[in-house]
Structure 1
Amino acid sequence: MQKVIRLVVLYFALAGLVAHLSALTVYLFFPGVIYKVQERMVERFNDSFPMLAAMAGTIPVEYDLESELQQVLPPWQPQAGTPMSPGEIRIGTRLFPNLQEAVKALRDGDTLMIGPGIYEEAFLLTASNTRIIGNGAVHIRNKATGGKGAMVIRGHNTLIRNIECSGISVSDRNGACVRLEGKNIILDHVYFHDSDQGLLTGYTPGIMRIHDSRFVKLGRGGRAHGVYVGGGELYISNSIFAAARGSGHEIKSRAAVNEIRNSLLTSLSSDDSRLVDISNGGKLVITDSVLHQGPGTTNGDVIGFALEDNKRNNQLQITNNLFILERDGPNYLLHTRQKYDLSNVRGNVIVGRDASGSSEGSITFPDRKKAGIGDYPALPDRTDASADTSGLQWQ
């Protein structure tokens, strides 16, 4: 009898150990499962006990994303550029009836000038060292070519300036305003929004620079993002990335070097995922920027680093930023698979609770009021379009 009792005790002890180890594994490596269980428990509590939920403050607040965007983002201002007639399209002195014919006529080193207007066209560019310049309010929308995007770029060293693009969607759920298949691109003062994706590249895109630009309400089904870079080097300055949707990231990059400076990244109340996902690691610099994790984001991580691949010489520099962590659930400023040197993750201001342990060397506040920031959705603006633009020309 005693032997049976010992076996029963041993069984329950082993079962308890296995259960605890399993729970710990889920907590450490699959935190999203914990969040979803927690969220469903809160939802059931709200449905079953509405009066208690109201007293406990667990009933979700109603948000209005469009209103938030209007409050937080200044109106888009196209650049006047060279005076041109509406619908005028030219290369030098040659005029063209539409964008497709003009782009086909581009030769290496040419500049395409586009006059104000709405262009429901898409094109494939094969020439190199070209410039595509919008003058006034130039809006390309609602058309994709080759099932890829509105502007498919196979040439090298391309500059696109002062172009608005929207309504780009394809059956593969990754239609992009710009699909880069060549190398080296500059996006200067562009406004990409309400599409599957803003910028999508291949594995060897060279150097990509994004300056004084705006990427808003982009993403689809967790596989398209505001920006999705497959390699190379990515440099972002004085730009806004806001309200990615469908569990998309504002910025997803496999580039070896990633630098984000003087920019605003915010979820607001969208159902985005991470603000920054540097999938394969490498060098990551984020400085002098505002990163706001909103209440509706589907991922607890603000920044994900080397979560898919970890074979590079990884370096982190995250300094002098403002982080506002307002997700309904745990917030992780930085999520990595292994420990890194965090000596250069410092000098930030963190509003809200960071569960990742990345707040050492930074100033922390429990909420907006204590930090002296206005009520939600107010956000400071650290973008400065007048900053140095000398790096925006190909040598």
Structure 2
Amino acid sequence: MKVLTDSHTAGPRKIGGWATAGLLCALLAVPALGLNSFAAAADTFPPTSPYLGEIRRDASGKLIVMPAKAPAAEAAGQSASGTARILRVGPQLAIRTIAAAAALARDGDIIEIEAGDYMGDVAIWTQNKLTLRGVGGRPRLIAAGASAEQKAIWVVRGGDITVENIEFTGARVPDKNGAGIRFERGRLIVRNCHFHDNENGILTGGGDGELDIEDSEFGHNGRSEGHNHNIYIGAIKKLRVVGSYFHHGKGGHLLKSRAAENHILYNRLTDESGGRASYELEFPNGGIAYVIGNIIQQSAATENPNIISFGAEGYQHPDNELYLINNTLINDRPEGGSFLIVRPGAQIVKAYNNLLLGKRPLNTGIDGEFINNPNVDAASFVLADRQDYRIRRESPLHRSYRSPGTANSGMELAPIREYVHPAATRPLITTPTLPGARQTLQPDKAP
């Protein structure tokens, strides 16, 4: 039996025990018949019928029929091919809430969410090969005290899910670990999204999960106690973060990952004025970490003197390798501190072409390969006090780049892109010539 949607209720509702398909066909084909006339003939219709429309209640409570706009069942979202579907969500559409779309969605669907504010509209996604994207602007998902399973605005434990162009804000739960997204299983791609003012931006479990984050922003997430982070990745299989902007921590870290394999490429992790992040980047259990082409800045207000930490809580993975290549590292803490701390026991520590603005060298007794990691002053940059870390044209640093070669895995370590603010990257059209994350004098901001 199909279920009719009553727009006056929060979810689907069965009306009178009739099959939806039969009722729709009867009302659309013979509108002159009353409901009593239809009841006697309902069993003459086939068990399944094409989508023809919806039954709703008008302001007086009377049942009315809303015919489908096209045979392809646009309101339900079925494509012309009859396989993949597009489910459209919006306050004036047949599917008004994200929670309703989550209940209706099937493997392979595309959920398009109209721009606007969605208050307390939380959801759990368990499907496979699902795409969730904002259209017509970036929709704002405002927790407003609600949470899915007392965990997050969205809980994701599907097979392969992509989230694009959505804003998550305000997640708070009783155990103080509320997240914009709680990722528990499968593979998740987050692209062009914004997470702010949550207890955690993204929080993951462990297992064989894989998380890709591209061109996204994380700011003002965490709690003053320092146990929450802009993003906190558990012991998953793989994390990849590219072209993203992390800023203004609230006592926790800008990015913390326990993943077995980490690709942190061409991002901006800058705590900035008013930020109080602890570490900017931490891998507490080691693993393999490729940290290439990032701008990483510690604010003056931090209580932690260290910027990047590797293995501080003990190595939990069979392979523990850190590749720190062509990053620009800035320590604005007046008392100074360490750019990098590494627990003894890592198999490989390789640091090439990192540019340091601060008082101490990169290597303070760490066992590893450290090549061409110069300390510079603020005058080396175009406008360091405004986070514009392009190297001046007249700087002697030009053509001082040293090739980092390959990682133990065979991966080429030379940067091939550079970060562009806010939350984007662009390809390098020539071989790198400079230390640090910025290789060109092109404008720092994306057009």
Do both proteins adopt the same fold according to a TM-score greater than 0.5, normalized to the shorter chain?
yes
- Find the counterpart in structure 1 of residue 167 from structure 2: 164
Amino acid at match of 1:295: A
Q: How does 1:201-212 map to 2 (within 5 A)?
A: 201-204=204-207, 206-212=209-215
SS in 1 for 2:99: helix
- Find the counterpart in structure 2 of residue 301 from structure 1: 306
Amino acid at match of 1:103: A
Matched, 1:334 2:335: no
Contact 1:206–1:233 under 8 Å retained in 2: yes
SS in 1 for 2:389: coil
* Residues 1:192 and 1:205: Cα distance change in structure 2 (over 3 Å): farther
Q: How does 1:114-193 map to 2 (within 5 A)?
A: 114-120=113-119, 121-135=121-135, 136-142=137-143, 143-193=146-196
d(CA) in 2 for partners of 1:295 and 1:129?
44
Post-superposition CA distance 1:53-108 (Å, at most 9, x none): xxxxxxxxxxxxxxxxxxxxxxxxxxxxxxxxxxx996526731211111111111
Matched, 1:224 2:224: no
- Find the counterpart in structure 2 of residue 75 from structure 1: none
Amino acid at match of 2:242: S
Post-superposition CA distance 1:256-275 (Å, at most 9, x none): 00111111001113111101
Who wins on radius of gyration, i.e. which is larger? 2
Amino acid at match of 1:345: A
* Residues 1:103 and 1:93: Cα distance change in structure 2 (over 3 Å): closer
SS in 1 for 2:103: helix
Amino acid at match of 2:104: A
> Among residues 282, 289, 293, which one is paired with 1:288 in the alignment?
293
Shift of 1:365: 3.4
d(CA) in 2 for partners of 1:165 and 1:110?
21
Contact 1:190–1:213 under 8 Å retained in 2: yes
* Residues 1:386 and 1:222: Cα distance change in structure 2 (over 3 Å): closer
* Residues 1:287 and 1:145: Cα distance change in structure 2 (over 3 Å): same
> Among residues 76, 86, 95, which one is paired with 1:92 in the alignment?
86
SS in 2 for 1:376: helix
> Among residues 300, 303, 310, which one is paired with 2:315 in the alignment?
310
Contact 1:352–1:364 under 8 Å retained in 2: no
Contact 2:148–2:155 under 8 Å retained in 1: yes
- Find the counterpart in structure 2 of residue 362 from structure 1: 372
d(CA) in 2 for partners of 1:132 and 1:331?
42
Post-superposition CA distance 1:133-164 (Å, at most 9, x none): 11112111123222100011121211000001
* Residues 1:99 and 1:89: Cα distance change in structure 2 (over 3 Å): farther
- Find the counterpart in structure 2 of residue 41 from structure 1: none
When the two chains are superposed, the root-mean-square deviation of aligned CA atoms in Å is 2.3
Post-superposition CA distance 1:319-344 (Å, at most 9, x none): 11111111132321111221646662
SS in 2 for 1:281: coil
Contact 2:305–2:333 under 8 Å retained in 1: yes
Structure 2: gaps of 5 or more residues: 1-74, 78-84, 89-93, 391-417, 428-447
* Residues 1:92 and 1:341: Cα distance change in structure 2 (over 3 Å): closer
SS in 1 for 2:291: strand
Aligned residue pairs total 299
Q: How does 1:28-43 map to 2 (within 5 A)?
A: none
d(CA) in 1 for partners of 2:108 and 2:97?
20
Contact 1:181–1:205 under 8 Å retained in 2: no
Q: TM-score w.r.t. structure 2 length? A: 0.63
SS in 2 for 1:104: helix
> Among residues 242, 248, 264, which one is paired with 1:243 in the alignment?
248
> Among residues 346, 350, 357, which one is paired with 2:356 in the alignment?
350
Q: How does 1:364-379 map to 2 (within 5 A)?
A: 364-369=374-379, 371-379=380-388
Post-superposition CA distance 1:257-303 (Å, at most 9, x none): 01111110011131111011101101011111111111111211111
Amino acid at match of 2:388: L
Structure that is richer in helix per residue? 1
Shift of 1:122: 0.8
Higher relative contact order (CA 8 A, sep 6+): 1
Q: TM-score w.r.t. structure 1 length? A: 0.71
Amino acid at match of 2:387: A
Q: Taking every aligned residue pair, what percent have the same amino acid on both sides?
A: 28
Greater CA drift, 325-334 or 93-102: 93-102
* Residues 1:205 and 1:191: Cα distance change in structure 2 (over 3 Å): farther
- Find the counterpart in structure 2 of residue 60 from structure 1: none
Contact 1:117–1:138 under 8 Å retained in 2: yes
* Residues 1:317 and 1:386: Cα distance change in structure 2 (over 3 Å): closer
Contact 1:266–1:293 under 8 Å retained in 2: yes
